[in-house]
A and B are shown apart, each in its own frame.
Chain A
Amino acid sequence: DAGVIQSPRHEVTEMGQEVTLRCKPISGHNSLFWYRQTMMRGLELLIYFNNNVPIDDSGMPEDRFSAKMPNASFSTLKIQPSEPRDSAVYFCASSLTGGSGANVLTFGAGSRLTVL
């Protein structure tokens, strides 16, 4: 398995533009997580899907952020419109039965977003 695949690896965009980040989880994993990493807050959970259904989106900062998981092998995180304070590294992770807590997360390489 190629692991969790994220794209793009780097994105530089201007304030107000729409940004779409993509994630392909490990085949067979039924839980998918989007995290944001910043110096101030560390690694914070944005949203968690289980069997393609959003279970916990309490970490999504505001309405400008949305996430979808149309099938078991693909998820997107969209920011519209983007703002400079959204600049961060966004990680996608997947696991088996993520809610159990005893299964490790496998992280993607991350998408580094810079909003000018």
Chain B
Amino acid sequence: ILNVEQSPQSLHVQEGDSTNFTCSFPSSNFYALHWYRWETAKSPEALFVMTLNGDEKKKGRISATLNTKEGYSYLYIKGSQPEDSATYLCAFKAPGYSTLTFGKGTMLLVSP
């Protein structure tokens, strides 16, 4: 069983604050790391897929970094807006495993 941990479990920030959260995964065996954004009453939507150590991806105010040697990925949101409120899921793929393993997510609430 692969262990994918996300922290914090939840986060409440004010509009305009920048924030970040962490996804930890087994460093010994890596293939890919996904980030998904999941708004309430909707379905998860893909943000990024990263496969190489040192990868950095950016989409608007959201960016992510990957460190496969130490087994973590950070997701950053610059200047949070209320519409960024969602649960952010990471998912890890290891060689030899047929599917992704999801973390339990970080629930972000951005207040106006």
Contacts and interface: CB of A to CB of B under 8 A. Distances in A.
Interface of A: 4, 33, 35, 41-45, 48, 50, 55-56, 91, 98-110
A50 B98 CA distance: 10
A82 B101 CA distance: 26
Nearest to A110: B43
A91 B100 CA distance: 14
A109 B51 contact: no
A107 B98 contact: no
B102 A42 contact: yes
Given A99-B99, A105-B100, A109-B42, 14 more contacts: A33-B99, A35-B102, A42-B104, A43-B104, A44-B102, A56-B98, A56-B99, A98-B99, A101-B93, A102-B31, A105-B46, A105-B91, A107-B45, A108-B43
Given A107-B44, A109-B43, A102 B99 contact: no
Q: Interface extent on B, as a size class?
A: 20 to 34
B46 A106 contact: yes
Given A102-B51, A105-B46, A109-B42, A43 B99 contact: no
Contacts of B43: 4, 91, 107-110
Contacts of A110: 43
A49 to B, nearest CB: 11
Interface string B16-47: 00000000000000011010100000111110
Contacts of A101: 31-32, 51, 93, 100
